[in-house]
Amino acid sequence: MYDEAEQSVDAAVEGELHLLDPVVRASPEEVLELLDPEFFEFGASGQRWDRTTILRATTPVPGEPVKPVAVSDLHGTLLAPGLVQVTYVSDESGRRARRSSLWRRNSEGWRLYFHQGTPIGSE
């Protein structure tokens, strides 16, 4: 049986993977549709981002190739009704980071509320 917890986790994981899609990242409108109005991020760079500033980081420079992001060790956990944590390891051209996202459900659906990336040194 497919229960509400599984549906919630699946929706958050789907949203996270959608945000990593180069086609979506190239569209500020699509990115904003997935971000909670109160979104913020502590990036792997150490910088704090919000809805406005994250678009500068996610929108590719015209003419530059888009670097795909490989994802591994992906997990989702329902923390409370309407709140899911997604964790994974990202690899963007050899730059690896452990990532954690909080997705919360609002009247429009699941939106990314918080994200944090922590660089992975040589292991």
Contact 14, 55 (CB under 8 A): no
CATH of the domain at 20: 3.10.450.50
Instruction: State which residues form the domain around 70.
Output: 4-119
CB neighbour list of residue 21: distance below 8 Å, 6 or more residues apart: none
pLDDT bucket at 2, cuts 50 / 70 / 90? low
> Side-chain half-sphere of 105: how many Cα atoms within 13 Å?
17
- What is the pTM (predicted TM-score) of this model? 0.90
- Distance set, CA 101 to CA 29, 63, 120 (Å): 20, 30, 17
Question: Alpha-carbon torsion 32, 73, 12, 98, what sign?
Answer: negative
34-87 pLDDT, tens digit per residue, is 999 999 999 888 889 999 998 887 777 777 777 789 999 999 999 999 999 999
Say how many domains are in the chain.
Answer: 1
